[in-house]
Amino acid sequence: MAILQEPKKNYGRLKNYINGEWVDSVSTEVRNVVNPATTEVIAQVPLSTRNEAEKAIQAARDAFWEWRETPGVQRARYFFKLKELMERHFEEISRTLVQEMGKTIGEARGEMRRGIEEVEVACGVPALMQGYNSEDVAPGVDEECIRQPIGLFCCIPPFNFPALVPLEYMPYAVASGNTYIVKPTSDVPLCQMKIFELIHEAGFPPGVVNLVNGSREVVKVFLESPHIKGVSFVGSTPVAKEIYVTAAQNNKRAQCAGGAKNFVVVMPDAVLDKTIPSLITSFFGATGQRCLSGAVLLPVGDIYDEVKKRFVDAARRFKLGYGLDEETQMGPLYSKKHMESVVKYIEQGVREGAKLLLDGRGIKVEGYPNGYFVGPTIFDEVRQDMVIANEEIFGPVACIMRAESFDRALEIIDANRFGHSGIIFTSSGKWAREFEYRVQCGNIGINVGLAAPMAFFTLGGVQGRESFYGDLHGRKESLWFFTERKIVVRRWL
Amino acid sequence: MAILQEPKKNYGRLKNYINGEWVDSVSTEVRNVVNPATTEVIAQVPLSTRNEAEKAIQAARDAFWEWRETPGVQRARYFFKLKELMERHFEEISRTLVQEMGKTIGEARGEMRRGIEEVEVACGVPALMQGYNSEDVAPGVDEECIRQPIGLFCCIPPFNFPALVPLEYMPYAVASGNTYIVKPTSDVPLCQMKIFELIHEAGFPPGVVNLVNGSREVVKVFLESPHIKGVSFVGSTPVAKEIYVTAAQNNKRAQCAGGAKNFVVVMPDAVLDKTIPSLITSFFGATGQRCLSGAVLLPVGDIYDEVKKRFVDAARRFKLGYGLDEETQMGPLYSKKHMESVVKYIEQGVREGAKLLLDGRGIKVEGYPNGYFVGPTIFDEVRQDMVIANEEIFGPVACIMRAESFDRALEIIDANRFGHSGIIFTSSGKWAREFEYRVQCGNIGINVGLAAPMAFFTLGGVQGRESFYGDLHGRKESLWFFTERKIVVRRWL
Amino acid sequence: MAILQEPKKNYGRLKNYINGEWVDSVSTEVRNVVNPATTEVIAQVPLSTRNEAEKAIQAARDAFWEWRETPGVQRARYFFKLKELMERHFEEISRTLVQEMGKTIGEARGEMRRGIEEVEVACGVPALMQGYNSEDVAPGVDEECIRQPIGLFCCIPPFNFPALVPLEYMPYAVASGNTYIVKPTSDVPLCQMKIFELIHEAGFPPGVVNLVNGSREVVKVFLESPHIKGVSFVGSTPVAKEIYVTAAQNNKRAQCAGGAKNFVVVMPDAVLDKTIPSLITSFFGATGQRCLSGAVLLPVGDIYDEVKKRFVDAARRFKLGYGLDEETQMGPLYSKKHMESVVKYIEQGVREGAKLLLDGRGIKVEGYPNGYFVGPTIFDEVRQDMVIANEEIFGPVACIMRAESFDRALEIIDANRFGHSGIIFTSSGKWAREFEYRVQCGNIGINVGLAAPMAFFTLGGVQGRESFYGDLHGRKESLWFFTERKIVVRRWL
Amino acid sequence: MAILQEPKKNYGRLKNYINGEWVDSVSTEVRNVVNPATTEVIAQVPLSTRNEAEKAIQAARDAFWEWRETPGVQRARYFFKLKELMERHFEEISRTLVQEMGKTIGEARGEMRRGIEEVEVACGVPALMQGYNSEDVAPGVDEECIRQPIGLFCCIPPFNFPALVPLEYMPYAVASGNTYIVKPTSDVPLCQMKIFELIHEAGFPPGVVNLVNGSREVVKVFLESPHIKGVSFVGSTPVAKEIYVTAAQNNKRAQCAGGAKNFVVVMPDAVLDKTIPSLITSFFGATGQRCLSGAVLLPVGDIYDEVKKRFVDAARRFKLGYGLDEETQMGPLYSKKHMESVVKYIEQGVREGAKLLLDGRGIKVEGYPNGYFVGPTIFDEVRQDMVIANEEIFGPVACIMRAESFDRALEIIDANRFGHSGIIFTSSGKWAREFEYRVQCGNIGINVGLAAPMAFFTLGGVQGRESFYGDLHGRKESLWFFTERKIVVRRWL
């Protein structure tokens, strides 16, 4: 067991990054950052004060107009630099990510790669944010749609992708001419701090990108401030909805991603040898703490028994450990509290009468006796009315339900309230097309364990379900969120 | 004075159009439709019951899936037919519009023409709603963004463009595969009824497009129904905001247009001979009842006196009358209540100390002694802190304020809370560009009296001001509002 | 046998349509138009003189600038009208098409429907030809790409879709602001004449759209005239290439579609019950005279024998006759000369040693003893080196070759010089994706007999093969062909 | 006079870069690279053999399929790396560019910056080369347009932007999945060699990007090879046309930019203080050796005398010298031969009777007695029929012609055969719009001396004139040139 070296053992008390400077918070309210495998405290986060949040807002407001007048090609160039720096510090930040959040080093590298891809796509902003125009909409009258940045935006990310999520929004917002504040999740703030060190090094003008550590109070300031024009949130459904409604009341834009409960259909004609490893990654990768993780497995028809058997066998062999061990396949849950929540769901499943084929509770990982580990857990004979079949557990807990037919599988999926991601394994073009066409989910996978779209697409649940609130999603599509169009009708006399 | 023939003298009691049939409402609550020039009652609108609204919802729900599976090219073909029918009934509906709403026949024809243009653009839906795709986002993995219709939408239009406004939304929604309900404004429901007669003749499948007359109760049913996926509203700012927030709470899409207060800057280098007629149209056209109407005139610097003089002279010559008289340049306000409101604002201006250069109150129009007429009214020496300088009057009332400089004019505009439309008259490329670049309005006019965008653009105020709530506007842009994207990540094993 | 009524028995001597008027040609060189089923002469086409071609050019030049200044929305409106008229005369023109060209009434209606679809898409030109723009490409400098029409274009269509092909180009060219000349194929000019009657009725301004009957001499005038800015040609490969090179030499745009030899792969997992009818349509529909027709059938592996058997059985039952008989499934070839050419290819196949499973030569159709009929003809044991496996026969002649594997089938297809269309029948998502990804053809069908793209896509072979010469294809994509972009770099001092 | 340090005094004998390796040419035919200021020989270029050109073709063919299967996001990443390296070697390559070509260090840095911008835009290829798709084009039938790379392309650049021009094409071609050969101009090959050193360092797979030094023989091999799918050429009009026609004959794509003669209109309302410096840059920057350089000055009406006077005064003060001197404003012409050609044009102008206001012939630059210098030269009273008013001189020679009116200025411009770039200086929105709308040039400047579009637009002359042959230009637009679309019609049975 060769553990990779940690970048630091203790990161001390974190600072805010406001107006181009690292500043200490005056706050005495401090939260510990804990390595969930070792349970060591590795940093302290002061929860910033209302006044500090307002200072960041002021800095970002002051920086706006000059930044907005900076040519797009120059704004993009800061992101080219940031990408270069992220490549250079790739391994170091990946390891910090393991330390604070618990995922495996492979998963951490994957997250960093995805984050870099967001920055790469945002580098294309000069081409991506162009307006359009028509000559002669009436004799001698031309018309033009121009897209302009709006002002100040902020991001409130979740714990599970603490490096990536702000990068799904901030680069697009800032490259398109807005200024920005990130409020990292206070449990897992380290890699975002490190990314801001690179932002600093990249030389962004002061006030353009800011970081304020904190919790609900800071969010409250943001939502109430008339100067914040929009918010990108990723977290639980109740908070997503609350923020979305508050933003509506306060005349702000909002795009709020909430929970998920993702279903994975396996058709009888699936290529099982390659399907099973994908299922394992889908359900247990990132210890199940991904919005795109598989949650309910729906083998269709006769393939049920074989899928179940092979899935359980493979899950059983999945190796738990500390994420900095290259051999580890699954790390701990990110916090004690979250581990307890996952365990409670398992108990609930047992109580509800689901059949526990594999029980990850109480697992002991050598060398990490106090780590927040829960092993792969598989329930069979899950019924549609059980809590575990409906709520987001966000841990390595798979529910298996038999679906008699493709149509029945679709029915089960669409009865779920989230509508986030749907997956099908099949070799049939027909089933794949039917699935894409009909399933009410925003992220659809055909023979992939995770329907994780690239940055030059978008990501997110569909309208009217409970995994997403808003009209405009992140990534490339967010250029519509972060800019406002003006229509100019022009005539010369 | 040759009055054009009216299509009908009395339209009787109006019906709802539900599931492809004209049906009587059981409601006993009835509102009169009054010709505002003649004050004759020309129709009765029953305010539909909750149950009737629900029937329309049910019909539209039932029609959805089959309509959604109908190829776009076929869905568009119904709109080709509708366009053809609208051309054929162009004059007849235009006249009905004059009867019920009071605008001049020229304005009515303009409205109809604009409505037809919306239908024409929606005919292009097969090309306009395409998704996008990439090969090899990873080795052997392709990715696709598909755009699909969502379900049932509804429109709640205002009184001032009763023919046009539903056509700014419905054709895009329906052509892209959704089903629809229009609830016409109950004061001015006739031309929408006539358009639905054409919709019926065009042969849309039952339930695809529906009309329910009514008022707040019907709107309430719509906003509460989980089956209505989104609402397009045009009206006053308080209602716009209320509907937007309610939609957010109920997990619906919403695009809500509210009030406006539009400023018109005249620079010293403006070409006055051609500017003055545009100003008259801007401020007094449609009797000032347009969201894009000029409200405050800002002559910059020395040109002030001349602009004022020529503007007042021209306004004085503006001919009031019944809209069906081809010579009429300005009709009455659309209702008695609204006339009283406009008169109150004039009284308020007088009280506030503005100088009344031209007083349209109490004007008498020959042959229409009881018509709801207010003539062109011009206040000079208006100050930024007066109510008449800030609130939407929506009548033929112009406020003149002197701006010392271009920068000062911009300041005055951006201090206004609406941010809907800004106009500048100038011959200078430099001022025009500065204006477009900096003014915080969504609809910008350069040497045009009305910044009315074409249907193949979009229309609306900017984010964070009070003339529009939502991320996605009407017209071409509404295809993003009326469709949901799914991202498919596809691999074959 | 109930024959549909013919619109006319004899159409007399055809005229040119120049500058908004129908004018007689002074030419004494006249070609007969012959009904290929009845062999009756149904019209005479004078082959216009050089001077007449030049008059059309002059008319189109004179009309250009005013048409180009007409707003796009108004230009599109002529096409809305044309579409309406085409719907109204749908059946009549379809029947004329049968008379002159021999296809079945069903095929003729399909061609007309496709032609209408082109017009429908061109109606969307205001939205489709927009340019794009960026603010602040440098401080205070904006940049804009505007798309403008170019001038005069012409179309030289083939005999096989005499109604449709000009509509694949002209509406886009003209709606985007260019003027146009169509030179119908002189063997089959009638339905184009009828479409021009509708163009006349639609009220296009004189000179905007013109028709000149003629042959090579007229084409020569077009290619040499400096006033013709581009040419769209569909015909044989040698002529396509010649026109393309001549256009290059004369500084004109050109898009030239040539011949094809299309391969149809049937994988062992194809759904045969639905595949066989599609194969029949593919190979024998339109009597094999479609650029997208199947020519070589490639059953892969063991399915070979069954596909062959069922294909021959179905072909044997295909009913020949006069196209105006609704029961007819296959009409005659369009001309005597072409019939003789097809027969020669069959003889060639026999000489080369291919096994003739079904012989369509010498077939007698009751009531049409002299019609240019050749029945479905199927060769088995065709080898890659045979002439019939490589050259375009353009008749109802199918060659069957066994392919041992998918890879071998691809190899055979890509060895062919045309690269026009490739078809696969399979139920496997994997094979379909591999086929799309790898096959070097422009038009790809998955489980469809004809890979005929919709008008809101484009159509055509791929670069470097011999079915298409040019960079820009027809339909929606042709808006880049028919317009030129200007880049404006704009600063105000 | 502080001369910047040269990176090297002598670069020795240059190599080819084929299949990822630097290889010596066996050629004994060698050309000297001469510093045009010092006239020192600074390198030798062997003119590669036919066999060497074929080896590069083979390497690029072999590399194609694997490169084409590499995900776009990974292909783009090589360009992110290249951009980073170009930034790092920015100053060094800029100086080499001065040495070999003679331009000033400021101009060289400008060229490098523009080159980097091309690479930056090409980094966005995953978003820029997406295809599009529609569901349900018929019931159950979907359609997709996919864009795929084509194969091997090559670039034949001119002498005047030896670093930039290949970067206007290659990055787009290669990022979109094609392989590539650059054949630098043999007089000025050094900075391209240096860029290829960075390409090597960036780690592109062998064979993907290749460099072959040479002259006409190599070009001939390229044009004849069936494996080269397209060529991007920039140079003189006769060669551009010849290459375009040859490519057409050999079934290749081509985009060929030729000569230019650019007109600069100064309206009476121009802001002269800022206009004059722009004029100087336009006419004399890069010693007039830019395709976008001003060539004919057209002051309109009364402003004529003042413009002339101030233009000549400013030109007179323009400082000649060695480009590595930071104070130098204008360097020598790039070669002795070209200097002689420019001098001949001046003699021609004198002979034709134009009035020589400023004579740059025989100018002596201190320290560089043999340098190929010609100073700013200004002719007045130039007539439209003079050779100097029509042909491309490509040196620091300005012709002044008076235009009586705006319309007359336009007439003069459009009588010119090139149609490349047109410039207007005015403060009037009306004149600017008229100019953009009507002038037959591809690159239009409003109050800018050079209408040089950004990489996220495109560049080039208009159809039918003689500065460009082809349908598709470089830069962003070239993604259509470098990719082929396939249309897939897909149904599942």
Beta carbons within 10 angstroms of residue C20's beta carbon? 17
Distance in Å from the first CA to the final CA of chain C: 80
Among A128, A129, A130, A448, most C C-beta atoms within 10 A, so best to mutate, is: A130
Is pLDDT of A126 > 70? yes
Domain positions in chain A are 16-259+469-490, 262-456
- Which chain D residue lies closest to C252 (C-alpha atoms)? D464
CB contact under 8 A, D491 and C448: yes
Is pLDDT of B75 > 90? yes
D contact chains, 3+ CB pairs < 8 A: A, B, C
Residue-wise pLDDT tens digits, C89-103: 999 999 999 999 999
Q: What is the DSSP letter of B268?
A: T
**Closest to D454 (Cβ–Cβ): which among C137, C274, C470?**
C137
CB A46 within 8 A of CB A30: yes
CB A82 within 8 A of CB A123: no
Q: Indicate which residue of A123, A155, A256, A291 is catalytic.
A: A291
Residue-wise pLDDT tens digits, B405-455: 999 999 999 999 999 999 999 999 999 999 999 999 999 999 999 999 999
CB contact under 8 A, B132 and D132: yes
d(CA B447, CA B418): 21
Residues of A in contact with D476 (CB under 8 A): 127
CB contact under 8 A, D136 and B427: no
Exposure of C436 by Cβ count < 10 A (0-12 exposed, 13-18 middle, 19+ buried)?
A: buried
- Residue A37's pLDDT is what? 98
Residue written as token pair 């509406």:
C171
Exposure of A130 by Cβ count < 10 A (0-12 exposed, 13-18 middle, 19+ buried)?
A: buried
Instruction: For residue B465, name the pLDDT band (cuts at 50, 70, 90).
Output: very high
Residues of A in contact with B153 (CB under 8 A): none
Q: Which residues contact C309 (CB under 8 A, 6 or more apart)?
A: none
**Does pTM surpass 0.95?**
yes
- Residue C2's pLDDT is what? 80
**Mean pLDDT in residue range D121-149:** 97
CB contact under 8 A, D123 and A123: yes
Residue-wise pLDDT tens digits, B203-238: 999 999 999 999 899 999 999 999 999 999 999 999
Mean pLDDT rounded to a whole number for chain D: 97
Among C79, C117, C176, C492, most B C-beta atoms within 10 A, so best to mutate, is: C492
CB contact under 8 A, D489 and C244: no
A contact chains, 3+ CB pairs < 8 A: B, C, D
* CA neighbor of D143 nearest in space, from C413, C261, C436: C436
Beta carbons within 10 angstroms of residue C74's beta carbon? 13
d(CA D84, CA A80): 8
Beta carbons within 10 angstroms of residue D381's beta carbon? 14
CB D379 within 8 A of CB D401: no
Q: Write the DSSP assignment of D65-129 as a string of letters.
A: HHHHHS-HHHHHHHHHHHHHHHHHTHHHHHHHHHHHH---HHHHHHHHHHHHHHHHHHTTHHHHT
- Residue A463's pLDDT is what? 86
Helical (H) or strand (E) element with A349: helix A336-352
d(CA C250, CA C222): 11
Is pLDDT of C234 > 60? yes
CB contact under 8 A, A433 and D84: no
Q: Is B286 helix (H, G, I), strand (E, B) or coil?
A: helix
CB contact under 8 A, B137 and D426: no
CB D289 within 8 A of CB D334: yes
Q: Which residues contact D403 (CB under 8 A, 6 or more apart)?
A: D265, D298, D299, D300, D301, D409, D412
Residue-wise pLDDT tens digits, C362-402: 999 999 999 999 999 999 999 999 999 999 999 999 999 99
CB contact under 8 A, A487 and B445: no
Beta carbons within 10 angstroms of residue A273's beta carbon? 9
- Residue B333's pLDDT is what? 98
Instruction: For residue D1, name the pLDDT band (cuts at 50, 70, 90).
Output: low
- Which chain B residue lies closest to C123 (C-alpha atoms)? B124
CB contact under 8 A, D442 and C487: yes
Residue environment code for B31-66, b if the CB has 16+ CB neighbours within 10 A, otherwise e:
bebbbbbbeeebbbbbbbbeebbbbbbbbbbebbee
Q: Write the DSSP assignment of A45-73 as a string of letters.
A: EE---HHHHHHHHHHHHHHHHHHHHS-HH
CB contact under 8 A, A252 and B480: no
Among A439, A456, A457, most D C-beta atoms within 10 A, so best to mutate, is: A456
- Residue D222's pLDDT is what? 98
CB C485 within 8 A of CB C150: no
**Mean pLDDT in residue range A467-478:** 93
Residues of B in contact with C130 (CB under 8 A): 456
| Token reading at A114 | 């995805």
C contact chains, 3+ CB pairs < 8 A: A, B, D
| Rounded to 5°, angle at Cα B451 from B450 and B453 | 125
- Which chain B residue lies closest to C87 (C-alpha atoms)? B81
Q: Which CATH superfamily hosts domain B262-456?
A: Aldehyde Dehydrogenase; Chain A, domain 2 (3.40.309.10)
Residue written as token pair 């079904």:
C358
Residues of A in contact with D127 (CB under 8 A): 121, 124, 127-128, 456, 476
Answer yes or no: same fold for A16-259+469-490 and A262-456.
Answer: no
Instruction: For residue B29, name the pLDDT band (cuts at 50, 70, 90).
Output: very high
Shortest distance between the Cα of C34 and any Cα of chain A, in A, equals 46
* CA neighbor of C16 nearest in space, from C227, C196, C221, C231: C196
Domain D16-259+469-490 part of CATH 3.30.200.20: no
Mean pLDDT rounded to a whole number for chain B: 97
**Closest to C229 (Cβ–Cβ): which among D464, D484, D487?**
D464
How many DSSP H helices and E strands does chain A contain? Answer: 16, 20
Is pLDDT of C1 > 70? no
Shortest distance between the Cα of A400 and any Cα of chain C, in A, equals 26
**Closest to A436 (Cβ–Cβ): which among B271, B445, B488?**
B488
**Mean pLDDT in residue range A109-119:** 98
Q: Is D224 helix (H, G, I), strand (E, B) or coil?
A: helix
Residues of B in contact with A141 (CB under 8 A): 448
- Residue B90's pLDDT is what? 98
Shortest distance between the Cα of D234 and any Cα of chain C, in A, equals 17
Q: By percentage, how much of chain B surpasses pLDDT 70?
A: 100
Give catalytic residue positions of D: 291
Residues of A in contact with D76 (CB under 8 A): 120
- Which chain D residue lies closest to A134 (C-alpha atoms)? D437
Among D61, D418, D489, D491, most C C-beta atoms within 10 A, so best to mutate, is: D489
d(CA C223, CA C234): 15
Q: Among B11-15, C80-84, C457-461, D332-336, where is mean pLDDT lowest?
A: C457-461
- Residue B1's pLDDT is what? 57
